[in-house]
Amino acid sequence: MEDRAIGMTRRLKRRGREALDRIGPRRSENRVIAEAAQYWTSPAEPAWAGNSHWRTGIPGQWEKVGQDHLALFDKLARVLDTPPSFGTVAEWGCGGGANAVAFAPRAERFVAVDVVRASLDECREHTLAACDVDFVPLLVEVENPEAAVDTIGRASCDVFLCLYVVELLPSAEYATRILRIARAVLAPGGVAFIQVKYRDSDGRTAPRRSYARNLASQTIFPIDHFWKLAGQTGFRPEAVHLVPENELDRNYAYFLLTAA
pLDDT score of 29: 79
Instruction: Please state the φ and ψ torsions of residue 215, each to the nearest 5 degrees.
Output: -60, -30
Question: What is d(CA 26, CA 28) in angstroms, rounded to the nearest whole number?
Answer: 7
Condensed to tens digits (0 to 9), the pLDDT of residues 161-186 reads 999 999 999 999 999 999 999 999 99
As a whole number, mean pLDDT of residues 207-212 equals 61
The CATH number given to whatever domain includes residue 251 is: 3.40.50.150
Global pTM value: 0.86
Reported confidence tier of residue 203, pLDDT bands at 50, 70, 90:
low
Query: What's the Rg (C-alpha) of the chain?
Result: 18
As a whole number, mean pLDDT of residues 34-56 equals 86
> What is the identity of the amino acid at 225?
H
pLDDT score of 72: 98
pLDDT of 15 higher than 80:
no
Neighbours of 246 (CB within 10 A): 12
Condensed to tens digits (0 to 9), the pLDDT of residues 125-174 reads 999 999 999 999 999 999 999 999 999 999 999 999 999 999 999 999 99
Query: Residue 98, CB half-sphere, CA atoms under 13 Å: how many?
Result: 27
Q: Assess contact for 62 and 97: CB atoms under 8 A.
A: no
Transcribe 133-152 into DSSP letters: -EEEEEE--TT-GGGHHHHH
Range name among 125-129, 204-208, 244-248, 255-259 with the lowest pLDDT average: 204-208
pLDDT score of 220: 93
CA dihedral sign of residues 49, 54, 60, 65: positive
Domain count, the chain: 1
Domain encompassing residue 97? 2-259
